[in-house]
Amino acid sequence: MDGISELLFPVANSASIRAIETASFSVEGASYPMMERAAQALFDQVCRRFQSVQKYTVLCGGGNNGGDGALLAALLFDHGMTVQVYDVASKARNGDAQKAWEVLLASGVDVRPSSELDGSADAAGVIVDAILGIGGREELQGEILRLCCWANRSRVSGARVLSVDAPTGLNVDSGQADLNAIIADVTVTFIEDKQGFYLRKGLVCAGSVICEKLNSVSIESPKLSFRFESSSIGKLSPCARYPVSHKGSYGHISVIGGDYGYGGAIIMAASGAARAGAGTVSVMTRERHIAPLLARSPSVMAVSSEDMPLTNALRNDDSILLVGPGLGREPWGEALFRQAMMLSCRKVIDADALYWLSVTPTLELQGNAVLTPHVGEAARLLELSVDDVSANLVNSAKSLSRRYSAVVVLKDVSSIIAAPDGRVVITGNPCPGLAKGGSGDVLSGMIASCLAYYSKPFEATVIAVAWHNYAAIRAGRALGDICMQPYELLEYLQV
């Protein structure tokens, strides 16, 4: 079953949101009504989520995000709540933000400059972060920084924080954030969910996300990407076993790698491949790694690279070749990489095979490979800095996918899976237990396995990445993130 489409949720970048906003304003002939709908949607969510809370502190910036906050404050006050607004605008308001501010000032709410907020006191009730939205840059300073620190401290002391559209200090495109960006319990976001909520610090800052469409118009947006929640892997039953089947029904994988000093990598990759359900797994590695490999995974067929050519490790043209775990950067690894690239079978190119790929710019892949770089490997392949890739995870995955005509898994706190046709899926939740050598080897084995028995490579890859993450989170819970070992997640694959 490859049907992941009903489990995908669209996420957008800020440019797409601006395009939808502009189209919506021109259809409606005005922009202010959408701000009023934003405030009403916020109010409805507050009533639903914080039924018993009477006290609201609303932090308003000078842009339209602050305008949403101002109208919400007025609505809350109208409905009998205790409302205090702190104004952190650094210059005069204009447009819709000014119009909303006039409504607030006329409403009777107590409005004060942010300098009157006593940073040593903790707020009770709900703090509404309406400082910066999609117009915000992530670097915070001055009064905005002070208010964010105060809100985060108050949250630790029991207040709850609701962010309007986006947490202040979070870049909604990259997921990068200021050290003191707002950490929200809930983010009520507008028009479309934002990709940055599911990348890096966005996964920490945004809290529960609720998306309100605000009657925005639909436009054809090629920029839309998708989120696949890794816990929904349970709905897919990866590698369901059919009563009438045999080992050939679930494909064959050949894993190539494991130079001297890297025997563990090939063992973990082969175990990942075998445990994720492939019918048969063979391994070609250094002679000395065969005995420990067989001791751990006796179902794997292991051969020494000195004994036979690479083609003999493949069962047929349908085999999946996983090349890279522990391959190393010595002539042995290079020779195996070059032999592997001569074959026309489907491939997963991982770890040091990505290094060999980066130093072979003329190499053409045949449209049937999956590449699994982390940010450093992606930077090398794209000839960019790690910072550039980090600031543009989604675009970097897309560029790599286009350049190599391959499915790309850009591995990060969450992972970005890109297809050459432009599709992008973000999946995975933070799992500090995975921040260890070996996690990638287990993942590449699992990806090869899913490719072996699912028919669609992009979907197979999404499923493998989500499954790996979900199992790792369960392993971390059971064993502790500090001591869990990457291969132990293979004990938690049952969903």
Ligand X SMILES: NC(=O)C1=CN([C@@H]2O[C@H](COP(=O)(O)OP(=O)(O)OC[C@H]3O[C@@H](n4cnc5c(N)ncnc54)[C@H](O)[C@@H]3O)[C@@H](O)[C@H]2O)[C@@H](O)CC1
Q: How far is CA 274 from CA 10, 287, 290, 447, in A?
A: 33, 20, 16, 11
- Binding letters toward ligand X, positions 145-164, x by CB under 6 A: -------------------x
Pick 40 or 304: Cβ nearer ligand X: 40
Closest approach of ligand X to the CB of residue 55, in Å: 23
DSSP notation for 73-123: HHHHHHTT-EEEEEE--SS---HHHHHHHHHHHHHT-EEEEGGGS-TTSPP
The pairs formed by 383-392 with CB atoms below 8 angstroms and a separation of 24 or more are 390/174, 390/176, 390/200, 391/174, 391/176, 392/174
Tell me: is residue 441 an annotated ligand-binding position.
yes
Q: Which of 70, 81, 132, 151 binds ligand X (CB under 6 A)?
A: 132
Residue 164 touches K ion, criterion: CB under 5 A: yes
CB 165 → K ion: shortest distance, Å? 6
Contact region with ligand X (CB under 6 A), list: 135-143, 203-211, 303-311, 399-407: 135-143
Of 457, 492, 449, nearest to 472 (Cα)?
492
138 labeled binding residue: yes
- Cα(479)–Cα(485) distance, rounded to whole angstroms? 9
Compute the distance between CA of residue 457 and CA of residue 406 in angstroms, rounded to an integer: 10
Instruction: Give whole-number Cα distances, 307 to 165, 298, 401, in Å.
Output: 61, 19, 35
β-sheet bridge partners, residue 59: 86, 129
Residue 154 binds which one of K ion, ligand X, none, with CB within 5 to 8 A depending on kind? none
Which listed residue (129, 212, 352, 488) binds K ion by CB under 5 A? 129
Closer to ligand X at the Cβ: 212 or 459? 212
Out of 43, 190, 454, 467, the residue judged to bind ligand X by CB under 6 A = 190
The encoded tokens of residue 114 equal 């942010």
CB of 94 to ligand X, least distance (A): 10
Minimum Å gap between C-beta 73 and ligand X is 14
In the numeric block, which tokens belong to residue 55?
């006290």
Q: Is 445 annotated as a binding residue?
A: no
Beta bridge partners of 281: 253
285 binds ligand X (CB under 6 A): no
Residue whose CB is less far from ligand X, 193 or 259: 193
Judged by beta carbon, residue 168 or residue 180, the one nearer K ion is: 168
- Whether the CB-CB separation of 233 and 463 falls below 8 Å is answered with yes
For K ion, the closer of residues 166 and 300 by Cβ is: 166
Catalog residues that contact ligand X under the rule CB under 6 A.
Answer: 21, 31, 34-35, 38, 61, 63-66, 68, 96, 132-137, 139-140, 144, 164-165, 190
